[in-house]
Chains A and B, each alone.
Chain A
Amino acid sequence: RKEVEQDPGPFNVPEGATVAFNCTYSNSASQSFFWYRQDCRKEPKLLMSVYSSGNEDGRFTAQLNRASQYISLLIRDSKLSDSATYLCVVNNRGSGSYDKVIFGPGTSLSVIP
């Protein structure tokens, strides 16, 4: 089983739609969680951190369920500019004294006019 799994999509949704992405992780000791966004032919950029209490940033809401080892990202009122690949990222404590960052394969979103 992969350490971080996402539905690859693509998700094709009309403008104004609400879309939800899911991500599961295998290591129950994972410590921090993020969503990144990657535009075509660009580098990944941090979209938002994910906290146990859930967090919201405008149209974006991230949720973490530690018991189910599940992370979600909800986008409301989709805009054309939301079209991108969304990467789920999990940080674990690696062997030794350093941390291990694991990227999911990404979910592709296309918002259609």
Chain B
Amino acid sequence: DVKVTQSSRYLVKRTGEKVFLECVQDMDHENMFWYRQDPGLGLRLIYFSYDVKMKEKGDIPEGYSVSREKKERFSLILESASTNQTSMYLCASSQAVLAGGWEFFGPGTRLTVL
């Protein structure tokens, strides 16, 4: 079974703090993604990566950065957390979609910024 794990299920941080969200997958997938999901807005792509040390901006990258030093690990960084970054954060991984791959999601991290 593919497993995508995220470092925390629930996180509470204060405005201005630096926040790290970690994601690890165990299926040697090339692609990894970070989304946030908010009521009424659905899943929105923050950043994605198709290879080690490679990153691409998604639809809402502002206020976030990412790091992919190893194939299995993709980190999302909030440099200075703000209250509007309170959300559910979902990590996903997949094989190349043109090879028929689909995304496997981690359980999510519910982040609250006070």
Contact = CB atoms under 8 A, between A and B. Distances in A.
Which of B31, B48, B56, B97 has the most chain A CB atoms closer than 10 A to its own CB?
B97
> Chain A binding site: helix, strand, loop or mixed by DSSP?
strand
Interface residues of B, number: 23
Nearest to A4: B42
A43 B36 CA distance: 11
Given A43-B106, A43-B108, A101 B33 contact: yes
A49 B106 contact: no
Interface string B71-114: 00000000000000000001000101110101111111000000
22 contacts: A31-B97, A32-B97, A42-B107, A43-B90, A43-B105, A43-B108, A44-B90, A46-B104, A87-B42, A87-B43, A91-B97, A91-B98, A93-B98, A98-B48, A98-B56, A99-B96, A101-B33, A101-B94, A103-B35, A103-B42, A104-B42, A105-B41
